Amino acid sequence: MLDRRPSHDDLVDHLVRSTALQRGEAARVVLDVLAYFDETTEEFVRRRHRELQSGGAVNAEIFERIAAELPHRAVAPPELSLRQLRRVVYG
């Protein structure tokens, strides 16, 4: 069976040339970055909510901060209201 995952060898090669990373480390970095940006808006909102809550922030701060962060994602989602953000977390 053919592997249909895109190859990122050129990016891995670039990281090896431009950093102190070894090839295996560079490949892991690329995969980690791709996984980070593959996250859906809902997954991002839930993850950030958990992270900020575990850091002691309260919901009022958390949802304001998430709303401010969303437009800066690699592919910015449509603007979500604070109510919509709460619904993502709590259903």
Tokens of 47: 């993850």
In the prediction, which pLDDT does 6 show? 60
What confidence score (pLDDT) does residue 38 get?
86
Alpha helices in the chain (DSSP H): 9-18, 23-37, 41-54, 59-69, 82-90
**What integer pLDDT is reported at residue 4 of this predicted model?**
47
Tell me, what's the pLDDT at 1? 45
- Residue 3, pLDDT score: 52
Q: Report the predicted TM-score, pTM, of the whole model to 2 decimal places.
A: 0.63
Stretches in the chain below the pLDDT threshold 50:
1-2, 4
Cβ–Cβ contacts within 10 Å for residue 19, how many? 11
